[in-house]
Amino acid sequence: DPQPFHLDEEAGAASILGGLAASGWHTASITMRLLALGVLNSSTCQGSPGIEKLLWRKPVYAGDVLTARMEILAVRPLRSKPGLGMITMRLETMNQSGAMVMTYENPALFGMRSNNT
């Protein structure tokens, strides 16, 4: 995101961000990495049709340490694709002080367990 307030300390300080801040898309990318390494790569996830309700709540600055938390909001089998289910998850990304910097909700497809296991 090559906007001046994401690239230049003076432009960042002069902006409403109050300093050189990461792009919200960079924050989303870091959160995706945390989600993939922590959950998705060792699951039956088959992808996602998109993201809903993405909110960047606070700026992320150089040196911030981010953590993420995932909550499952809903689960349902897909009639059109036997063996697959759709979950709706909520992701919350926090900085080292525990301040919420980003939230989003999105559906994702997962392979389902058979009824025999």
At the topology level of CATH, where does 4-111 sit? Thiol Ester Dehydrase; Chain A (3.10.129)
Taking residues 14-35, report their average pLDDT: 94
Confirm if 72 and 63 have CB atoms less than 8 A apart: no
Taking residues 82-91, report their average pLDDT: 95
> Residue 5: in which H helix or E strand, if any?
helix 4-7
User: What mean pLDDT is reported for the chain?
Assistant: 93
Going by pLDDT thresholds of 50, 70 and 90, the confidence category of residue 62 is confident
pTM: 0.87
Structure tokens at 83: 């063996």
pLDDT score of 117: 43
Taking residues 72-99, report their average pLDDT: 95
CA distance 117 to 108: 22
